[in-house]
Amino acid sequence: QKEVEQDPGPLSVPEGAIVSLNCTYSNSAFQYFMWYRQYSRKGPELLMYTYSSGNKEDGRFTAQVDKSSKYISLFIRDSQPSDSATYLCAMLNYGGSQGNLIFGKGTKLSVKP
């Protein structure tokens, strides 16, 4: 079993839809959870960062962590064509493991006008 599982999609939604992106993981030691956004032919950029369980909101984006289920989500409200990208989840133990993030393989999202 991979440490981090992420549905690769592709996911296609109409503009204005609510998008839900998810990852599951197996290592209960993970404490830090991140979402990166990667536009086509660009490097990943950090979008959201959450420590332990709970929700974090930033504009149209909400990151949610459920440690009991080992499940994390990223919700995008009022999705826009500019949100079309690949979204990668990433996780880390407390203490860092020398900063080596464990990445999911990414979900490709397309928002149609």
DSSP state of 29: T
Q: Where are the beta strands (DSSP E) in 1-113?
A: 4-6, 11-14, 19-25, 30-38, 45-51, 54-58, 61-66, 71-76, 85-93, 102-103, 107-112
Nearest to 44 by CA among 81, 85, 12: 85
Of 64-103, binders to other proteins (CB under 8 A) are: 88, 90, 92, 94-96, 98-101, 103
Of 32-71, binders to other proteins (CB under 8 A) are: 32, 34, 36, 41-46, 49, 51
Q: Which is nearer to other proteins, 50 or 62 (CB)?
A: 50
Question: 65 with 50: CB under 8 angstroms?
Answer: yes
Q: Which is nearer to other proteins, 70 or 108 (CB)?
A: 108
Q: Which is nearer to other proteins, 64 or 104 (CB)?
A: 104
Q: Which residues bind other proteins (CB under 8 A)?
A: 8, 31-32, 34, 36, 41-46, 49, 51, 88, 90, 92, 94-96, 98-101, 103-106
